[in-house]
A and B are shown apart, each in its own frame.
Chain A
């Protein structure tokens, strides 16, 4: 199983470069960079600089969406980065979340159609095709990216039943998470349903926060504020999240940010999503999930509250990364 990291470009790029260089040297396989619209720094500039300062680690969007740029523009940016990084780029997409779309006044218009059209058009352009298609949401006329290379994996992040099934049907990889642990079997089942429709064989990436110390749960409340309000109905039902609560959290999230919104999230809502315990216990839980579901990539959400480099070193140590992966 690969270990990868997610970065939010919320700090000066020089700091992000240092973190990713350390991740690369420790043997982490991928770095996913979040695309959060105007909330953080530009994702493609960030990825360009990471590409220029690393040699082996794979780099990609983690995750972008079909609404804030025309999918053709995203495909061209990905193809440009792939060339710049000597083929180390992958693309992660989803239907976009509240934190990204709301400040831009954008709505989730037909998310399944939008994601399907984005995946199919991007793949066609990466294959070097001349694309002419009149989609429901996006069109292309004699479109081609002359410098594209056909080696770019497309991942879909999904939590809803239909999106999981779509991901199984068309994506090279599915990003699962953060997931309520009681629903993992259901989620994997939806992915399998999609795969059986097309005969696709998709990779699985599992992502969540790993908590070694209980005090770190506080920070996760902030992340979970937007995750929870965008959760599928079944998750909300399991946790007892009412529509009124969703509206309240969304309003504070949009107007005052995740730090304030996080204060409304009870710890009990978070516990089913995270992996928590001693280092040995966490490793055991992750290994169990990996072997039960055939997870290819475990994506770690680094904490913002303490040194990210120390966290990387700790994970590398717990998972014996140096010994296992650095000989590549």
Chain B
């Protein structure tokens, strides 16, 4: 199983470059840089700096969306990164969440259609084909892009049934997470349904926080608000989240009051999204999940609340010994 790292680029860029370099030396194979709009540094500027500091680790945005940049720009940025990093780029896309789209006044209009078009456009342009953005069709002509990127993998992060099916149909890989663990089987089923349509064989990565202490649980609370409100209705129902609770939580996130939002997140909600327990218990649970769902990659999510170097070393050791 590959072990990758996902970083919110909210620290200073030289430090993020150093963390990625250390992660590469430890053995992490991929570095995902979050695209969170105004909340953190620009992902492509960050990735450019990381590319200069590393030699082997694969690099990509994880996850961008079809709304904040034109899909052609996303393709061009990824191709530029690929050329700069000697073919180490990949692309992660999703439908975008409240944290990213809210401050930009963008609503998540027709998410499945937009993600489908984003994947098709990027793949066409990576292959050097022409893509017509008005009709959303692929032509045979050679496009005018700067380099060939046939090897660039496109990954999708998804939780809704429709998007999971589209991901199964079109993506090279799907990242599940943070997702409600009770629904993993269902989610993988949707992926397989989509994959059957096209005969696709996507890889599956699993992304979850690994919590081994109460302090880590409290720190995580701030991040979980947007995960909870962006969950599907059936997840919210299973967790017992009322409409009022959801509304208040959503309002606080839109206001940028992440501390206020974190106070509204209940422990029992968080437990469904994380791997929690002693190191041995965490290893057992991850072993079960990865085996049952044929997971090829575990994505470690870096927390800025703790020492990043100790964190990536500890989690790599935990995961590498499964």
Contacts and interface: CB of A to CB of B under 8 A. Distances in A.
Interface of A: 9-10, 12-13, 37-42, 44-49, 52, 67-70, 72-73, 75-77, 80-81, 83-84, 103-106, 125, 130, 134, 138-145, 147, 257
B97 to A, nearest CB: 14
A97 to B, nearest CB: 15
A41 B146 contact: yes
Interface string B40-65: 01101111110010000000000000
B72 A38 contact: yes
Given A48-B45, A49-B48, A84-B45, A141 B105 contact: yes
A227 to B, nearest CB: 19
A270 to B, nearest CB: 24
A45 B256 contact: no
Contacts of B197: none
A327 B206 CA distance: 56
Given A37-B73, A46-B80, A138 B105 contact: yes
Given A83-B13, A105-B132, A140 B103 contact: yes
12 contacts: A13-B84, A45-B45, A45-B48, A70-B68, A77-B45, A81-B45, A84-B45, A104-B73, A134-B105, A140-B104, A140-B105, A142-B256
B318 interface: no
Interface string B55-91: 0000000000001111011011101110110000000
A142 B104 contact: no
A39 B72 CA distance: 10
B48 A139 contact: no
B51 to A, nearest CB: 8
A49 B144 contact: no
A142 B103 contact: yes
Given A38-B144, A144-B103, A84 B72 contact: no
Contacts of A80: 13, 41-42, 45-46
A45 B80 contact: yes
Given A39-B144, A45-B84, A130-B256, A70 B104 contact: yes
A282 B70 CA distance: 41
Contacts of A45: 44-45, 47-48, 77, 80-81, 84
A141 to B, nearest CB: 5
B259 interface: no
B188 interface: no
A230 B8 CA distance: 41
Nearest to A11: B146
B38 interface: yes
Contacts of B81: 42, 45
Contacts of B105: 134, 138-141
Contacts of B48: 44-45, 48-49, 52
A103 B37 CA distance: 25
Most chain A beta-carbon contacts within 10 A, residue among B44, B75, B134: B44
Interface of B: 12-13, 37-38, 41-42, 44-49, 52, 67-70, 72-73, 75-77, 79-81, 83-84, 102-106, 125, 132-134, 143-146, 254-256
Given A81-B42, A143-B103, A143-B104, 10 more contacts: A38-B145, A44-B42, A44-B45, A49-B48, A69-B70, A75-B38, A76-B38, A77-B42, A105-B134, A106-B70
A70 B255 contact: no
A73 B104 contact: yes
Contacts of A140: 103-105
A8 B293 CA distance: 47
Nearest to A50: B48
Nearest to A9: B80
A72 B103 contact: yes
A141 B102 contact: yes
Nearest to B17: A52
Contacts of A9: 80
B102 A37 contact: no
A49 B104 contact: no
Contacts of B102: 141-142
B118 to A, nearest CB: 13
Contacts of A139: 104-106
Given A46-B80, A138-B105, A140-B103, A70 B44 contact: no
A38 B103 CA distance: 27
Contacts of A75: 38
B138 to A, nearest CB: 14
Most chain B beta-carbon contacts within 10 A, residue among A38, A83, A141: A38
A47 B42 CA distance: 12
B85 to A, nearest CB: 10
B42 A76 contact: yes
A37 B77 CA distance: 9
A40 to B, nearest CB: 7
Most chain A beta-carbon contacts within 10 A, residue among B13, B42, B132: B42
Contact of B104 (A39, A40, A47, A72): A72
B72 A104 contact: yes
B146 to A, nearest CB: 5
A41 B83 CA distance: 9
B130 to A, nearest CB: 9
Contact of B144 (A103, A145, A147): A103
Most chain B beta-carbon contacts within 10 A, residue among A39, A52, A67, A76: A76
Given A103-B144, A141-B102, A38 B45 contact: no
Contact of A70 (B76, B106, B143, B146): B106
Contacts of B38: 72-73, 75-76, 125, 143-145
Contacts of A104: 70, 72-73, 133
